[in-house]
Amino acid sequence: MASRKVVALPVDTIAEYAARHPKAPHLHFSYGTAGFRTLGVVLDSVLFRVGILAALRSKRLDGKTIGVMITASHNPEEDNGVKLVDPRGEMLEAAWENHATTLANASNEEFLDVLRQFVQTARIDLSKPSRVVYGRDTRPTGEGLVQALRDGLAAIGAEGRDAGITTTPIVHYLVKAINTKGTKQEYGEDSEEGYFEKMSEAFRKLVSGRARIPQLIVDCANGVGAPIVKKMTEYLGETLPIVLVNTAIDTPGALNHNCGADFVKTRQTLPPSLHGMMKPGQRACSFDGDADRLMYYFIDERGYFAMLDGDKIAALVAAFIVDLARLAGLADKVKVGVVQTAYANGASTKYLSERLPVRCVPTGVKHLHHAAEQFDIGVYFEANGHGTVLFSPSTIERLETHEPSTPAQSTALKHLNNLVQLINQTVGDALSDMLLVEVVLAHKAYSAIEWNSLYSDLPNRLVKVYVPNRNVFKTEDAERRLVSPAGLQPKIEELARRYDGGRSFVRPSGTEDVVRVYSEAVLRSQADELAFRVAGLVYDEAGGDLNRRPKEFL
């Protein structure tokens, strides 16, 4: 029943389009931490409905542009997914995650009614315009899914803008750039070129006058990072010599296969394709399939693999920013803080806590991002390589207007202002983070080896356990303690106490039907043993699946 405004849903058109994108009755979809994510071939109806939902979100927010990214990140090539981006370039507001789930699961018969009801309860003024910008990664199912999304937009009469095959962070950038265009907070040109220009210009300024940067190997996970980094190299020219590897975006099955940031982090090893390529001490880094995660690593003189993960990036970057703020004469005016999750290596937390405030929050970008906003400059990174740095609006203004009193202060201030331009503040961005790391290394004259020696990682182990119902696992204290099943937490603690530097926690995964166990200890063998013993506890308590014993590593 339409109330005051008389613009109604174009039900006939929607019904006509919806008939081309029927939902299979047996499927259930859920908008989780990373949006909808499952096999690409079953997502057609979801994309159609997401198109409509994105348009409604835009109308609800007075015609602001909403972003849609079609990707399944580091998942295997046959998977795909979709997530929405809110107007400031941030993740979709949590309440709408539920609306997305409801709409995606309505049966074909109920769909229009559910939609009508949603428009009413969410008080959406249908007379408002709706604008949506969308992109996709290189997955083979992407093209068809884009078509389904376009049909959703067409069905409701939304204005769509195709960002083409691009990275998740570029879609976030575009959303923010479009919505801030012509305002005082203008974020940049609202185009891919604008993104490259903004970032490369800041990078050039930041490394000018520094020693030539040695060659960097970039593993693109055979994904969208490949064309995007390639374009960026044209903007960077000589300033950053890059060798691209794993760029086979058209080879079936290659995406994320034995390469990429997730492979490196979870296997704690070099992508096989890089064997023999790397000289001792040479830096290499891996992106994930949609280029929002970054892992650095190198091979040392003895031939051992050393990983520089999200925690090491946070340590490097946070310490650099604190130094710059001090040098700029802003130490007491700009509060720099770090946000991590329970997965952060204990040694990184110790290193950082000795230098600046550190907060621990539950897993998932939205939690980190939100907590980082509480600082004047908030550095957040997950150990898995997703992260960025946020400068609060008042800090940006302060940096722009602060009057330095010495040439040294002026230089530091200039660097800070260039960092504001270099860093993609909407979301973790492998490309932007990579340039940031390179800037810090250039300023500190650090090699990868010196960077790595900021602190030594405690050996750690991740194990997953298949249980009949992971929802019985409930946590508190930023996922560091289990409150349910009752009685399990004291047992975990009792076990952990037996190991030197022992720490372990258990949490249900947000993306897979498993429970994850993390452990760390001073010795590798002890970290492993602790993980397996805690996994055994979980298994015994929760009746693990006998066919899938806790032997698999994440």
Catalytic residue numbers read: 73
> d(Cα 318, Cα 433) in Å, to the nearest integer?
13
Q: What's phi and psi for 460, nearest 5 deg?
A: -145, 165
Instruction: Please pick, from the candidates 85, 177, 365, 534, the single residue that binds ligand 16G as defined by CB under 6 A.
Output: 365
Least distance to Mg ion, CB of residue 251, Å: 20
> d(Cα 434, Cα 437) in Å, to the nearest integer?
5
Q: Is residue 33 close enough to count as binding ligand 16G by CB under 6 A?
A: yes
According to CB under 6 A, which residues from 380 to 409 bind ligand 16G? 382, 384, 386
- The answer to whether residues 290 and 223 touch, using CB atoms and an 8 Å cutoff, is yes
Q: Is 223 annotated as a binding residue?
A: no
In the sheet that holds 460-465, the strands lie side by side as 460-465, 515-520, 503-508
Report the candidate in 352, 365, 353, 362 with the shortest Cα–Cα distance to residue 425: 365
Least distance to Mg ion, CB of residue 410, Å: 38
Q: Is residue 30 close enough to count as binding ligand 16G by CB under 6 A?
A: no
Q: Which of Mg ion, ligand 16G, none does 290 bind, CB closer than 5 to 8 A by kind?
A: Mg ion
> d(Cα 111, Cα 117) in Å, to the nearest integer?
10
Q: Is residue 364 close enough to count as binding ligand 16G by CB under 6 A?
A: yes
According to CB under 6 A, which residues from 133 to 192 bind ligand 16G? none
Helix (H, G, I), strand (E, B) or coil at 380: strand
Q: What's phi and psi for 102, nearest 5 deg?
A: -60, -50
Tokens standing for 163? Answer: 């960002």
Q: Which residues contact 426 (CB under 8 A, 6 or more apart)?
A: 85, 88, 89, 90, 169, 172, 173, 175, 176, 388
- The answer to whether residues 478 and 472 touch, using CB atoms and an 8 Å cutoff, is no
Q: Is 58 annotated as a binding residue?
A: no
Helices (H) and strands (E) in the chain, counts: 18, 19
Least distance to ligand 16G, CB of residue 19, Å: 33
- The answer to whether residues 288 and 77 touch, using CB atoms and an 8 Å cutoff, is no
Q: Is 180 annotated as a binding residue?
A: no
By rule CB under 6 A, what string of x and - marks binding of each residue 503-542 to ligand 16G? ------xxxx---x--------------------------
According to CB under 5 A, which residues from 533 to 552 bind Mg ion? none
Q: Is residue 241 close enough to count as binding ligand 16G by CB under 6 A?
A: no
Q: Which of Mg ion, ligand 16G, none does 509 bind, CB closer than 5 to 8 A by kind?
A: ligand 16G
Which one of 23-31, 170-178, 198-206, 361-369 is the stretch in contact with ligand 16G (CB under 6 A)? 361-369
Q: Is 292 annotated as a binding residue?
A: yes
- Closest to ligand 16G by CB, 438 vs 479, is 479
Least distance to ligand 16G, CB of residue 120, Å: 30
Q: Is 288 annotated as a binding residue?
A: yes
Least distance to ligand 16G, CB of residue 531, Å: 15
By rule CB under 5 A, what string of x and - marks binding of each residue 256-295 to Mg ion? --------------------------------x-x-x---
Number of residues engaging ligand 16G in binding (CB under 6 A):
13
**C-alpha distance across the termini of the chain, in Å:** 50
Give burial (CB, 10 Å; 0-12/13-18/19+) of 497: exposed
Binding residue numbers for substrate: 382-384, 507-511, 516
* Contacts with ligand 16G, residue ranges (CB under 6 A): 33-34, 363-365, 382, 384, 386, 509-512, 516
Binding residue numbers: 73, 288, 290, 292, 382-384, 507-511, 516
